[in-house]
Amino acid sequence: MIRLVTPGLPALLVAAALYWIRPRRDGQARPAHSGSTVTMLLAWAVAIVGFHPGVQDATDGVTRDLAKLVSNVLMLVASVSVVSWLMSLNFDKPEARRRLRPRVVFLGIAVAVMAVAFFSVPADRRWSSDFTNTHWGQAPVLLHVYTLAYVLVMGHATYDCLAQTWRRSGKSPWRVHRAGLRGAAIGCFFVLLYLAYKVVNAGASIAGVELFPGGPRCTTLVTPYRCAFSFTAPLLGVLLITAGLTVPALLWPTAKVLRRRWERKTAQDLLPLWTDMTAVRPQVVLRAVVIETDPDVVLHRRVVEVCDGILDLDNHRSRAIQRMATEAVERRGQAGTATGAAIVEAAVVAAAIEAARTGARDQDDPAPQATGESARAGDLRAEALWLRSVSQQYATNDIVRTAVAVQRQAAPTATAA
């Protein structure tokens, strides 16, 4: 399994990196954080390849456990790249660089300490040596210094990532971004689990206790059992953080297409109500300097114009029609439902439009507006969904047609009065 995971996941990471560095067809500049993203993805890809048994054997041919040093350094570079990526989102460029500079210095010092500690330990006393595997409690102190330097940088970067992703996930207006950032935050938890394992293992070793005995290299994600902490936990962390920070960007074009399709469809569904509304109240149509074709603008205008039209017809809202429609909805078992509320509102609005068309006199006691208006205030999507439901009932429901017929019969009497 290790031989499948270690080349497979890096291939996905490299593919994601190629997406970020691809030439832009529209001539636009790449996002400011694209450099940090590419560095993060490529560093993690190479770091994970370092766990492949074949790569480890090749690098160990140079000096024992060199693959571990290279992989750990690249993991640190990747973790700081994540922080750089997040800072480029949360701060302007000068502030992001100012905040990142001490972290890069910290990274450089830690890498230097790890390299000195690694090469200062004789090859026959490093992690994979027979002596250290069988006498972990007597492992050289410099190996623990190496671990401490690694944990400090990785822990600080992971905390940075966790704090920034979780905080930003609560502010993003896009569902796909919130899900991605929360997924990255969960990935940070697995990285912290991995770091806790290293700290506990090093502390136990110093105390002469062997909690996680050495032995053969990881053969599966959970065997030997220490591999669940030393390999699988960071692997899951890398996967979740990478997916959380990159998949939303990959899905964004699809989400944008789906959103525009929804906007066009919703604007089209509003057309029957909008057409009749603006025919009797043309003053609600907003002036436009040019003809707008953007689906978002068209929908926004249509929602505003329908809302204004409903308010402008307030004096024609009949309580008798509202009562009749409510009773009809109750007989059909739709009372208390969103559909039932839309039917009642559509009936009242349709009768008001008919009253305005025939010149009927104003109602002495107009029917109140539909409930829920305050909850939808400022929420274009919620208002559009409500008006779409009303428009659909307006165009198709027989209760609405009955309300219009009743209003048409009452109109001459009302006018005469």
Residue-level pLDDT at 32: 56
pLDDT of residue 399: 94
pLDDT for position 279: 94
- Phi/psi of residue 9, nearest 5 degrees: -65, -45
Within 10 A of 32 (CB to CB), how many other CB atoms are there?
A: 13
Q: Which of 222, 243, 258 is the last residue of a domain?
A: 258
- Each residue of 171-219: pLDDT tens digit? 776 777 788 888 888 888 898 888 888 888 777 777 766 666 655 566 6
318 and 173 in a common domain: no
- Does 310 lie in the same domain as 198? no
pTM to 2 decimals? 0.57
13 shares its domain with 132: yes
* Residues 337-362 pLDDT 10s: 999 999 999 999 999 999 999 888 88
CA nearest to 161, candidates 103, 110, 122: 103
Residue 413 has a pLDDT of 47
Residue 337 within a domain = yes
pLDDT tens across 359-380, in order? 888 888 899 888 766 556 667 8
Q: Which two tokens stand for residue 156?
A: 């600080």
CB distance 343 to 391 below 8 Å: no
52 is written with which tokens? 């492949």
Distance between CA 257 and CA 269 in Å, rounded?
A: 18
- 205-237 burial: b if 16+ Cβ within 10 Å, else e: beeeeeebebeeebeeeeebebbbbbbbbbbbb
Are 373 and 310 in the same domain?
Answer: yes
Residue 120 lies in a domain: yes
CATH number at residue 184: 1.20.1070
319 and 355 in a single domain? The answer is yes
> Do 159 and 124 fall into the same domain?
yes
Please tell me the distance from the alpha carbon of residue 80 to that of residue 70, in angstroms, as a whole number. Answer: 16
Q: Give the count of domains, the chain.
A: 2
Residue 272 inside a domain? The answer is: no
Q: Which domain holds residue 19?
A: 2-23+30-258
Per-residue model confidence (pLDDT) at position 5: 62
Q: Helices marked H in 281-379 — which ranges? A: 295-312, 319-331, 338-358, 373-376
Phi, psi of 362 (to 5 degrees): -65, 155
Instruction: Enumerate residue ranges in the chain where pLDDT < 50.
Output: 413-417
Same-domain status, 132 and 223? yes
How many angstroms separate the CA atoms of 228 and 20, rounded? 32
Joined tokens for residue 40: 């993060």
CA angle 194, 200, 203 (to 5 degrees): 140
